[in-house]
Structure 1
Amino acid sequence: MSTKILSLGNFLSRPINILLKQNNVTPNLKTNFSTTTVACVNFFNKLPADKLWKSVTSVSNAGAKKGRGKGAGRIRIRDLNRGQVIGVGRINMLWPGLSAPVIRGRELLKQQRLPDDPDRTEKLIKIRDSMTRFRRLKLSPIERGWSGAKMPGRSIGPPDPVGEDEFVGFDTKILQLKSLLLMKGSLGRTRNYKAMVVTGNGQGLAGFGFGKAKEAPAALRKAKNRAGQKLMSFEIYNGHTINHDFYTAFGKTKIFVQKKNEGHGLVCHRAIKEICQAIGIKDLRAKVEGSNNLPHLVKAFFIGLLQQRTPQQLAEEKKLHLVEYKSENAYYPKVIASPKEVRTKEQIPKDETLDFTQYVMNDKVILKKKKFRPFYESMPSYKYYLKKYEKYRNHERIRLNLKVEYGDVKSFLTDKYPEKAEKDA
């Protein structure tokens, strides 16, 4: 006779008749067994979903005071039943009590599978996918900022009206929006938002402002209204550019701004471009050197614009005529401004700066990097290429000149020999 030791887990998991046989006990079939219902209550089915998520994502008051749970705010509470309808699935089933009543009249309904409906399946898939998939907010190309759906570069409309006065024709562009973390003794680490915007009407009135708040929309609204309260007036030369070249700086940020002809466009930093559009400047080139700190960049550019002088003021400063040369006028001199008293040649000192660009730039020169020759210019194959295509070198320029002068591409001898042109036609 062999003895077996059974653990409690093995004992409970085995059928009762097998255990009785192993112990040589004949089961009595007349024995009555009583059953008792036991409620299986635990942590997960006792509490609702909100409290369960709170236990995962939140920290107790004592833990928060000690600085625990710093990254708990990043966890998003998810709806685990999102896109799910109880009793409705891809298979067309009839579930009494879920998708159909239990009793229909005097008939007790049973679970059964209904014939497949392809239209219903496609609709369920589309509804479920639309509810479960995260869709990024799509913006039109006109409403986009500098980088996709981010706020810098986007328009937020004119400033709020002050009493009965409204900002008609104004538009505000966001230049910067960033979050700041502040450490406080009582509240710990708190988050603030800082915004910088520029507003203008495109006709010489513009201003910039800063705003701080607990939320991003409030910070933007503060900055927008402060920019509207600090408007500055600028003179636009011929309605499209600045009065003259200038050099400006703020902190370690240096900006060299150059006046350009009509049609050149705005070739500059994107923040400077937004400021120029708010003011109404259309043609300009700006070179930034040193620090790219955005607030310093904006302040430096506004300082440079405010320090501009009109052509008449420049003529009065130097007591000389101000003459302009333009390529569209074949560099023919044109007097723009004349002073009340003009100095003679003998009255001008020998060491005085007479170069206009050097004078308005405050003796500052733009740093020009050395240009190296391309590597392929020293290769024999490139020299062979130049020699081979020498006879075709000016063809594009000649074709363009013929279209400008004669209206089409034709020979220089067409006027002398018109019969040749008729044969070609």
Structure 2
Amino acid sequence: MAARLLNVSRMALQQFSILAKVASEDSILYKTAILRCCQGINNKCFLQSVRQITFINTQTSGSIWKSVTGVSNVGKKRGRARGSRRFVDLNKNRRLGEGQKGMQWPGLNAPIISRREGRVANKIQVLPPNPQKQEELIKLREQSMKKRARNKIPPLQRGWTGNKLPGTSIGYPDPVEDYTFEGFDTRVLEFKRVATMTGTLGRISRFSAFVVTGNGNGLAGYAIGKAPNGRSALRKAMNRAAQHLIYVDRYENRTVFHNFYIAFHKTRLFVEKKEQGYGLVCHRALKTICQKIGIQDLYCKVEGSSKNIQALTKAFFEGLQRQETHQELADRLSLHVIEYRPEMDNIPRVVATPMSNVREKREEGEEEVDFETLYYDGRLPLKKPKQKPFYFNYQSFRRKLKQDYRYRNQPDALQLRIVHGLQPDYEVNRPKPKPKMKQ
């Protein structure tokens, strides 16, 4: 009894002394007071204090994983988040109520009422052991931790830069009644998020999509669509572009009829007609538009604003609609349209003849017609002069130029002599070699 009283607190001693004074007159009351005092001592003083709340059960799994895998904003800007660990959900593929031992808990992993036994309430019971359960959980967890392989897009269908949407193909428009847009392909030219500020609803955000669609055979159209969802905006723009198709005339189904100048807002385009096999040397948005129209050979120089994709597209389509065919040019000027091509050795070829009478003489005061700059509206593109090679001022190169000066016009003169029959063409009428004598 003395050993126990050593651990008695002050409150217990006060309670013990009060009860002892009351119960001193009666032995029964004395014994009862001692028992009540011991019960209070056992309940209040001899119980060991245990902390029921720890660090683990006060923090969620997400906050614990964030302490391991989290990176500050400054670290993200410097690229430290690339090699950070991924979040692993240890409770994935586990059902509530399941543990190491198989248990049946009605309402958690089993129904409360069993219908097989005639609507009898299930009871808590131990299920037979399943040694393969842990292996299956580990396998499922490893599969969920693996990075999902992205669908590889063919190189010709990828966007302009990385995984961004502009430049990618989104298919053909939706059919309208009985007409299906077979052979059409739609490309995204611009995709961005826009917002408007209202007085009642505040800032309202939407997605804006600018697309072009075409069949690659002269039929194409462009449109813009806006919607709260990105997919809805793309679909709206694609179907709207299919309802505003434009037919573009092409020279030999591969290029424009003539060079032209067109401007829209701050964007200015100088489009040049090119020979077959030249390709598309222009802005990436204009290159995508030309592919949808069916233009194969073209050169275009953009001056002014080149980042405004909508201005580029509208200017280019307007210039294509304004272009004049060779027959229309011949009828307007009452002159023959003759073409000279470097790949055909500049041999003249009549392309169009006017339907009415042909003018024989040029009127007084009329300027000479230059087909290359006829549709430039008095403007010319800025062309930087080619930089001279490093050996241009060398003495040896100057000596070579002086030696070649006397032969400067001989190839053209030789061609003219062959055309007019003044000199035989040795490549065509090459003399046959003499047969060798047999030994």
Question: TM-score surpassing 0.5?
Answer: yes
Quote the residue 1:91 is aligned against: none
Q: In the alignment, what sits opposite 2:317?
A: 302
Matches within 5 A, 1:333-348: 333-348=348-363
Q: Name stretches of at least 5 consecutive residues in structure 2 with no aligned partner.
A: 1-41, 66-84, 104-125, 130-134, 402-425
Give the Cα separation in 2 of the matches to 1:237 and 1:174: 27
Change in CA separation of 1:79 and 1:185 when aligned onto 2, cut-off 3 Å: farther
RMSD: 4.3
Which deviations, in whole Å up to 9, do the C-alpha atoms of 1:103-126 show, x marking residues without a partner? Answer: xxx9xx9xxxxxxxxxx8xx9699
Letter in 2 for 1:279: I
CA contact (8 A) 1:82 1:132 kept: no
- Secondary structure of residue in 1 paired with 2:203: strand
Shift of 1:338: 1.0
Do structure 1's residue 355 and structure 2's residue 370 form an aligned pair?
A: yes
Aligned to 2:169: 155
Letter in 2 for 1:281: I
Tell me, which stretches of 5 or more residues in structure 1 are unaligned?
1-30, 54-77, 88-96, 110-119, 388-404, 407-413
For 1:272-329, what per-residue CA distance to the aligned partner results, in whole angstroms no more than 9, with x for missing partners? 1111111111111111111111111000000000001111100011110111112343
Map 1:140-289 onto structure 2 (within 5 A). Answer: 140-289=154-303
Distance 2:256 2:90 in 1: 59
Would the alpha carbon gap of residues 298 and 86 (structure 1) be closer, same or farther in structure 2, given more than 3 Å must change? closer
Paired position in structure 2 for 1:372? 387
**Structure exhibiting the larger radius of gyration computed from Cα positions:** 2
Q: Deviations over 1:15-44 (max 9, x none)?
A: xxxxxxxxxxxxxxxx893357664399x9
Structure 1 residue 324 and structure 2 residue 339: aligned? Answer: yes
- 2:12 maps to which residue? none
Letter in 2 for 1:238: E
- Per-residue CA deviations over 1:233-257 (Å, capped at 9, x if unaligned) read 1112112111111111111211111
Residue number among 46, 51, 61 corresponding to 1:33 in the alignment: 46
Identify the range of structure 1 (371-380 vs 188-197) with the bigger mean alpha-carbon deviation.
Answer: 371-380
Give the 3-state SS of the residue equivalent to 2:191 in structure 1.
Answer: strand
Distance 1:356 1:215 in 2: 49
For residue 366 of structure 1, what is the amino acid of its counterpart? P
What is residue 35 of structure 2 aligned with on the other side? Answer: none
8 A contact 2:336–2:358 mirrored in 1: no
- Change in CA separation of 1:49 and 1:99 when aligned onto 2, cut-off 3 Å: closer
Query: 1:142, CA displacement in angstroms?
Result: 3.1
| SS of equivalent to 2:251 | coil
Q: CA deviation at 1:139?
A: 2.7
Q: Is the 8 A contact 2:334 2:359 kept in 1?
A: no
Q: Aligned equivalents of 1:375 and 1:181: distance in 2? A: 54
CA shift, 1:343, in A, is 4.4
TM-score (ref. length: structure 1):
0.63
Indicate how the Cα distance of structure 1 residues 363 and 132 shifts in structure 2: closer, same or farther if over 3 A, else same.
same
Q: Does 1:291 align with 2:305?
A: yes
Distance between the aligned counterparts of 2:322 and 2:93, measured in 1? Answer: 72
Aligned length in residues: 316
Q: Deviations over 1:173-223 (max 9, x none)?
A: 110101123333333333221111000111111100001111211111111
